[in-house]
Structure 1
Amino acid sequence: MKALTIKQPWSGAIVHQTKRVENRTWKLPASMHGARILIHAGAQRDRRASVYGPHLDVYSAIVGIATLTGCHWAEEDRPCSPWSDDNAYHWTLDDVIALPEPVPAKGRLGFWTPDEETVNAALRQETGVAW
């Protein structure tokens, strides 16, 4: 199972709020379409972000699980979501589950493969409620 590191507060907004679009400069690899992934909160906060709320202060940990369901380029005249950015690929997420207990883990840029112990610790919590 792959993980994707996303800076806070965006990772928290995905698993605890309504953010279902991840903005990226690169297209979602075809092999990842439909994949179930771990959402990893990065070690740093995006200083440009103006999203606040509970659960947005966890860093360097797996915080949720989601399914990548699509990818499209931004349409300037019709944003697909209030969370979408211009001039970016929008990766769509579904079946998002917030983990009751974050699983500490070091992340990496792009997709990465966590060790088996980390994956199992996250998957044991997957029976939570989908957001």
Structure 2
Amino acid sequence: MSAVTLPAGDWIRGISVKQPYGAAILAGAKTVENRAVRWRTGWVLLHTSRTVDRSALRTPLVARAVRGRDLVTGAVVGVARITNCHQDPEGVPPCSPWAHPGAWHLVLADVHELPLPVPARGQLGPWRPVPDLLERVLQQLPHFRP
């Protein structure tokens, strides 16, 4: 895919998540990411931070989702689309077993795992990928169409 075929403007952001949550998203098990603030819908690069939440590996929900998967850190590992961002109303059961009460729930769909992780630095909050990083990611997804 060349830059000519990409949408114009600010169409993609990066999101950094700790492992093992990144692996759970790539496995298709974790379809909700929790955040303290509202995010807009649209495409995101899935970046795994350098931090691994070791205690999360002891929870059955996480352990089942990531069994046999590598916990790559410090890299873009895929692309996904945020299709919705909401908070569950008080007193209503969570929208997902992964949803934290009071958090904004980013609903993830159309997850595309990269064959090879692309080393990169992320940051807190939504971040703009530099063109070189985006090009290296999209080279691995020749059939991806935003």
TM-score normalized by the length of structure 1: 0.85
Consecutive aligned runs of 4 or more in structure 1 exceeding 4 Å deviation: none
For 1:81 and 1:2, locate their aligned partners in 2 and report how far apart those are by CA, in whole Å. 24
Aligned to 1:26: 37
Q: Secondary structure at the match of 1:119?
A: helix
Deviations 1:87-126 (A, max 9, x none): 2111101101111110000111111122212111111222
TM-score normalized by the length of structure 2: 0.77
Provide the aligned length of Structure 1 versus Structure 2: 125
Deviations 1:53-85 (A, max 9, x none): 233410000011001110111344321112111
For 2:68 and 2:129, locate their aligned partners in 1 and report how far apart those are by CA, in whole Å. 26
Identical aligned residues as a percent: 38
Q: Secondary structure at the match of 1:111?
A: coil
For 1:4 and 1:37, locate their aligned partners in 2 and report how far apart those are by CA, in whole Å. 6
Deviations 1:28-66 (A, max 9, x none): 2xxx32x11100000101244132323341000001100
Judged with a 3 Å threshold, the aligned counterparts in structure 2 of structure 1 residues 72 and 108 are, in CA distance, closer, same or farther, namely same
For the pair 1:88 / 2:103, whether they are aligned, the reply is yes
Aligned to 2:24: 13
**Which deviates the most, 60-69 or 14-23?**
14-23
The amino acid across from 2:48 in the alignment is A
* Contact 2:76–2:120 (Cα < 8 Å) also in 1: yes
Q: Over aligned residue pairs, what C-alpha RMSD do you find?
A: 1.8
Counterparts of 1:1-131 in structure 2, within 5 Å, are: 1-28=12-39, 32-33=40-41, 35-50=42-57, 51-52=62-63, 53-75=67-89, 76-127=91-142
Q: Which runs of 5+ in 1 are unaligned?
A: none
For 1:17 and 1:54, locate their aligned partners in 2 and report how far apart those are by CA, in whole Å. 14
For 1:65 and 1:111, locate their aligned partners in 2 and report how far apart those are by CA, in whole Å. 14
Aligned to 2:9: none
Q: Which runs of 5+ in 2 are unaligned?
A: 1-11
For 1:56 and 1:7, locate their aligned partners in 2 and report how far apart those are by CA, in whole Å. 13
